[in-house]
Amino acid sequence: MSTGNPPSQQVAVALAYLGQNSSAAPKVVAKGRGLLAQAIIEKAREHGVFVHESTELVGLLMQVELDSHIPPQLYLAVAELLAWLYRLEGKQPIHSENTLV
């Protein structure tokens, strides 16, 4: 996630699912401002990772400690974004018995 600000004011947060536990929330694996944000965005694009711009969401995610799971308060916002990305790529989200659709 990133903001559409000029490079010196850019903010970026990278999320990832890590490990075998698919029921765990995504972790913040990188975050930064300015040149670091630019590097995060460039690396994501180099690897074909979608970059979503949302000032509000990136602001909230910047408050999460690096290498920490996102808090429950952000589950819905991130889940909606991930579901949209799955649909964009023509995939179906994986549902478990505990998943609300």
Q: For 20-29, 38-47, 65-74, 87-96, which range has the lowest pLDDT when averaged over its residues?
A: 87-96
CA dihedral 18, 5, 8, 75 (to 10 degrees): -20
Write the pLDDT tens digit of every residue in 9-18: 899 999 997 7
- Is pTM beyond 0.85? Reply is no
Residue 15: φ, ψ to 5°: -110, 150
Question: By the 8 A CB rule, do 24 and 68 touch?
Answer: no
Concatenated DSSP letters of 64-84:
SPTT-BPPGGGHHHHHHHHHH
The pLDDT of 71-97, averaged and rounded, is: 80
Token output for 62:
């910047």
- As a whole number of angstroms, the distance between CA 4 and CA 18 comes to 27
* pLDDT of res. 2: 58
Concatenated DSSP letters of 27-60:
EEEEEEETHHHHHHHHHHHHTT----B-HHHHHH
The pLDDT of 35-61, averaged and rounded, is: 94
The CATH number of 7-70, from 3.40.1690.10, 3.30.450.40, 3.20.20.70, 3.40.1030.10, is 3.40.1690.10
- As a whole number of angstroms, the distance between CA 65 and CA 62 comes to 8
Quote the mean pLDDT of the chain: 84
